[in-house]
Every structure is written in structure tokens, then in C-alpha cells.
Amino acid sequence: MKILVINAGSSSLKYQLIDMENEQLMAKGLCERIGIDGHLKHTPLVDGKPVFNEDVPMPTHSEAIAAVIDKLTSAEYGVVSSMKEIDAVGHRVVHGGEKFASSVLINDEVLAAIEECIPFAPLHNPANITGINACRAVMGDVPMVAVFDTAFHQTMPSKAYMYAIPFDYYKNDGIRRYGFHGTSHRYVSARCAELMGKPIEELKIISCHMGNGSSLAAVCKGKVLDTSMGFTPLVGLPMGTRCGDLDAGIIQFLMSKYGYSIDEMLNILNKKSGVLGVSGVSSDFRDLDAAAAEGNERAQLALDMFNYWVAKVAGSYAAAMNGVDAIIFTAGVGENGADTRAAICEYFGYLGVKLNAEANAKRGQDIMISTEDSPVKVFVIPTNEELVIARDTRDIVC
Ligand code: ADP
């Protein structure tokens, strides 16, 4: 069975074709500048076929999907002989609100429900819907599945997801913590249990997804107890460009002092804050590491704040779960930032965490980076959201 995984953004579309017989990646690619001019980078990963990396006109997502199918099935760049070989499509959908606690076969009713969640994710859900509609237009009645970033977090208890504001805002408007990166937290926590050789139902895990956007999740006995992103992905840890937790009074103060509109204010908090805002250097942790090594104090401060926040939130989750068996690092910074991991683990001395420096220096594999006798095990597990989407799609379609 071959499954196409689609992650559609407003002007971009990432895809992977996965052979579920052996979970092998057959091809991957990225359409960019959809609606502007259009560019496709298509990378076949079987039979030594060449990479296609050229401009292709893409006035809408439908032309983008058509170009992807064309390349996947072409004699020169293709990995399948015809579209009929693609058995199903799995779509990443950012927000499923309270309607979706798991992945679901897409039909008109499901599409309408995803549309109803647009107010919660006004930038992402419309793009995801556009991707689904484009696939339906080009691929006809191939079964399609929606996999939601929010779904895994739907197990949170109300004491964790409620905000302490008048209850009617929850009841009438759905204002609550939803959390994001759920597919990633789900993948790495399940993989962690596998690596530990224990059922996930017996484990208390803290999953640290640290990329451009970052969130932590407390995964207690297989269910999310709490997570650091909230109603939107703006809160929790300081991120590449997002501010993380912030006193709401600051918004009122800055808006009245500088006359910002709410859109200008949110743009500052989403795009100009985080480690970029503090350092004035970059949102990329590699740049911050380099600047800090050259003595840039604000770059060092931004890194220190990030590490402190990860440790502080993880500590609160250890308390909330009344213990922790494993801590996982994943995503761009979590998988690659050995110094960042080591600095964060320094804070975990009270848990008895002992880092294995040699393992921590390795890259690109599932690996335990704590010592065997560390009472809390620490892992680096490269995330694989596309594989989760493909597996859910297979399980629902079969
Ligand atoms: P996204 O949230 O966009 O999916 P990723 O998970 O790919 O992001 O993470 C991207 C971030 O990973 C980059 O901004 C960079 O800060 C960080 N990163 C990548 N490689 C390294 C590295 N070698 N050392 C430290 N950080 C890294």
C-alpha cells in the first residue's frame, strides 16, 4: 500500500510518498510560491532517479497537486507507474478543535467540521482545506484521511485545559488550551516506550519538541496531561520568533504607548519576539550558538532563557505527573543542539539525571543520552510526523 502524505500551507505544499509494506520513503518534495509563480523540488528516493528542481506554474493548489502527481508518475522522475498506485492520501490538519480526538476519514461532513475550526487557526486550516480540495479535484475518490495537530492533546483533563476566565468563554466560544505538535509528541512518546521496552501505559514521559516553534507535553501513561502551547501556538516557551508566556497587561501597555493596532501587536509577538527578539541576532539556534561563542551577551541571554524555560516547564510537569520516567528531545534544536540538550539536562540534577556525553554528541538516530543508571532516562528521538499520518491513514482506510 502506498500513501501520499500532504502538508499544505497557504503558498507551499510538502509531500511524501511512503510505501507502507516496509514504511520506506519513496519520494518527497516541496511546492513553493503557489499563487505567485510556482516552484517544485521533487526528490525521488528509489532507483537512483534524478531530482527535479524547477519553476512550474502553480496559480492554485490544484496545479501544485497535479504537478506532484505528474512527477511521481513520470518516466524520468517517477516512483510509481500511475496515480492508481497511490492507495490513499493523509493530510496534516492543524486544528481539529474539540471535534476531533483522533484521525478521521475525510467526507463532506468532516470537511465542514474542519471549516468550523477556521476561527481557531485562521492561517492554517484554510490552507489545509485548500490542499484537501485540490487533492479531491485532481485525484477523484481516492480515500483521504485528516490527521490533526491538536488531536493527541484532547486527552487533557479540564483542570489543565481551562483558562481562569469567565466560564462562558469556554462554553460559548471554545476558549481553552488546545495544544499543537500533537502528532510529533505522539510519535516520539510511543517510540520512547518502545525503546524502553515498556507499555506506554506504565510510563510518565516529558516530550520536548524544540524547533522553530517549541512545545513540551506531559504524556502520563499514554495520555497528554498538559502541554505548553495553548489556545494558539504563541504561548509556553520562548521560541524562534514567538514570545511564549507573557503577562497580558504588557499588550495593553505597549499598544497604548506606541499606538499599535492589535494586528501590529500580534505581529511583534509572533514574528519579532522569542530568541530573535531578545538576541537581536537570529531565530536560528545555530546563529545564536555562534554569536554567543563570540561573546554576544544578548545571544547568550536568549539561549539561557530558552533552556531555563524548558527546564521550568518540564519541572512543573514532573510535579503534575508526580514523577517522570523519561525525557525526550526532538525537532530541529532537540535533535541537533547537543549543547542546548546538555545545558537543559544540567537543571535536571534534582531528578538524578546523568548525561552520557558521548551519546549526546551523536546525531540522526534514536538514542538514549543518559547513562544506564540514570533514574530518569533521556532520549533523542528524531520526530516523524509524516509516518504517523501515513500509519493513521492506512489504519483508517484498510
Ligand atoms: P520547524 O518548527 O520549522 O519544523 P525544525 O524542527 O526544522 O523547525 O527546527 C528548525 C530549527 O532547528 C532551526 O531554526 C535551528 O534553530 C534548529 N537547528 C537546526 N540544526 C541545528 C543545529 N545543528 N544546532 C542547533 N540548532 C539547530
Both 362 and 256 in a single domain?
yes
Using CA atoms, how far apart are residues 225 and 217, in angstroms rounded to an integer?
Answer: 8
Both 266 and 137 in a single domain?
no
Final residue in a domain of this structure, among 129, 148, 167: 148
Tell whether 113 is covered by a domain.
yes
* Structure letter (DSSP) for residue 51: P
Q: Which of 285, 289, 384 is the best mutation target for the ligand 1 pocket, counting ligand atoms within 8 Å of the beta carbon and taking the most?
A: 285
Interval between CA 389 and ligand 1 midpoint (Å):
22
- Angle, nearest 10°, between helix axes 108-116 and 124-139? 160
Of the residues 55, 141, 149, 247, which is catalytic?
149
Contact 69, 77 (CB under 8 A): no
Q: What's the CATH number where 112 sits?
A: 3.30.420.40
Both 142 and 254 in a single domain?
no
Tell whether 112 is covered by a domain.
yes
DSSP 116-168: HTGGGSTTHHHHHHHHHHHHHHHHTT--EEEEESSGGGGG--HHHH--SS-TH
First to last CA, the chain: 10
Both 221 and 362 in a single domain?
yes
Place of cell 506506554: 200
The residue range of the domain holding 346 is: 198-380
If you average pLDDT over every residue of the chain, what do you get? 97
C-alpha separations of 178 from 94, 240, 315, 355 in Å: 11, 21, 21, 33
Interval between CA 77 and ligand 1 midpoint (Å):
29
Tell whether 39 is covered by a domain.
yes
Both 290 and 358 in a single domain?
yes
Both 144 and 252 in a single domain?
no
Using CA atoms, how far apart are residues 259 and 126, in angstroms rounded to an integer?
Answer: 30
pLDDT, greater one: 358 or 47:
358
Sheet holding 13-19, edge to edge: 52-55, 39-44, 24-32, 13-19, 2-8, 88-93, 144-148, 104-105
Both 261 and 366 in a single domain?
yes
Tell whether 173 is covered by a domain.
no
Confidence of residue 231 (pLDDT cuts 50, 70, 90): very high
Q: What percent of the chain has pLDDT over 70?
A: 100
Tell whether 124 is covered by a domain.
yes
Both 123 and 203 in a single domain?
no
Tell me: pLDDT of 230 over 90. yes
Tell whether 183 is covered by a domain.
no
Contact 182, 152 (CB under 8 A): yes
Q: What is the pLDDT averaged over residues 368-375? A: 98
Residue 372 is predicted with a pLDDT of: 96
Q: Is residue 149 annotated as part of the catalytic site, yes or no?
A: yes
Both 100 and 41 in a single domain?
yes
Both 131 and 220 in a single domain?
no
Q: How many domains does the chain have?
A: 2
Tell me: pLDDT of 47 over 90. no
Residue type, 1: M
Both 123 and 259 in a single domain?
no
Final residue in a domain of this structure, among 90, 121, 148: 148
Residue 68 has which C-alpha cell?
506532484
Final residue in a domain of this structure, among 148, 165, 186: 148
Residue 349 is predicted with a pLDDT of: 96
pLDDT tens figures, 80-123: 999 999 999 999 999 999 999 999 999 999 999 999 999 999 98
Confidence of residue 186 (pLDDT cuts 50, 70, 90): very high
Burial class (CB in 10 A: 0-12, 13-18, 19+), 213: buried
pLDDT tens figures, 286-336: 999 999 999 999 999 999 999 999 999 999 999 999 999 999 999 999 999
Both 217 and 99 in a single domain?
no
